[in-house]
Amino acid sequence: MTSSWRRRLLYTLAISDPFEAAVRKWSPLEDRAYRLLRRYVAGMSLDEAVGAIEDLGRKGLGVSLDLFGEGATDVEQVTRVVAGYRKAAETLSTLDADVYLEIVPSHLGLDIGLDLCRRQVAQVVEAMPPGARLEISAEEARRTTDIMELTTSLHRQGAPLVATLQANFKRSETDADRLVESGIPIRLVKGAYPEPPDVAHPWGEPTDVAYVRLAHRIHDGGGEAILATHDSVIRESLRSALGPLDIEMLYGVRPEIAAELVERDHSVRIYLPYGDGWFRYGMRRLAEAQGPSLMKHTGNVLPVEPMGGTDE
């Protein structure tokens, strides 16, 4: 099986409700899966996440903290999610650490309604400590228009935001222009959601080229670009061409590179997710690494790309 097909298979399993239910139904299998995927998550509780934040801070790394979840389908669920984020925000205000919050819009009700989601996100922003930013994840193409509307409307209300653009999406050049014009910083990821060819460039060289072009487009337009990639060639070439740019990486992925970048006085932020929704995120990490299978993964760290948030 080619790496591309392995990746698609793992991603398909990652978004399969029956597969997740089957794994979680049998405790030994769930425990084994959690041990396998634990390297990518801060833990299931906020206390565990705080411990990871403090550890990363001692290493000179900033953090983007995310409470696992996506695709909320009822208002009560969204209300619980908002309460979780507000608790996290209040906890962050007590820490001497450089921490942003990150949200997945569908986790805060985007699929229920754009206005409802906007109100919920505003509650999270209200609880954030001074100086923190809210990073808004990208999701599948079918949600992108609403995410753009959410981002720009919250920005107009004064929310301190960072948007996320997926380089493989063909619409991202237009979206980049809109965000730059609005003065919204842009975290640039390659993207990892399987999309039809009329929507997205193929993985590999076409997406790599699109990533580089987008970074130049944002920079040349006067915008702030943040490089969320583990691709050292792209990262180093862009920083050489465009000057100092902030970097974002994923928790548990190539930590030795993050440490080396800090030693070179680069600003590095780590995406740090926590909560009981670890399964899908961890499976996506395996998909990005093109691992052979859930139970036979060797644990070797391969270059992977943020998916835009939970999935980045």
Give the residue from 60, 100, 45, 140 showing the smallest Cα distance to 271.
100
9 token code pair = 């298979």
Cβ(127)–Cβ(86) below 8 Å: yes
Of 175, 81, 170, 179, nearest to 121 by C-alpha is 81
- Give the per-residue pLDDT at 7: 66
pLDDT at 231 over 90: yes
Q: Give the tens place of pLDDT for each residue, 111-169.
A: 999 999 999 999 999 999 888 999 999 999 999 999 999 999 999 999 999 999 999 99
In this prediction, residue 203 has a pLDDT band, given cuts at 50, 70 and 90, of confident
Q: What is the percentage of the chain residues whose pLDDT exceeds 70?
A: 87
- Tell me which residue of 57, 99, 112, 103 sits closest to 84, measured CA to CA: 103
Structural tokens at position 28:
């030994």
* Mean pLDDT of the region 215-223: 98
Q: What is the pLDDT of residue 1?
A: 55
Residue 37 pLDDT class (50, 70, 90 cuts): confident
DSSP-H helix ranges across the chain: 3-14, 17-25, 27-37, 46-58, 75-92, 114-127, 141-156, 172-182, 205-220, 232-242, 255-263, 278-289
The arithmetic mean of pLDDT across residues 255-267, rounded, is 95
CA 33, distance to chain mean position in Å, is 21
Q: How confident is the model at residue 210 (pLDDT cuts 50, 70, 90)?
A: very high
The string of pLDDT tens digits covering residues 83-92 is 999 999 999 8
* CA atoms in the 13 A half-sphere facing the CB of 106: 18
Confidence of residue 4 (pLDDT cuts 50, 70, 90): low
Tally helices (H) and strands (E) across the chain: 12, 8
Kindly report the pTM of this predicted structure: 0.86
Q: In whole numbers, what is the pLDDT of the chain averaged over residues? A: 87
For the cut 80, the answer to whether the pLDDT of residue 311 exceeds it is no
* Nearest residue to 173 (alpha-carbon basis) of 211, 142, 208, 146: 211
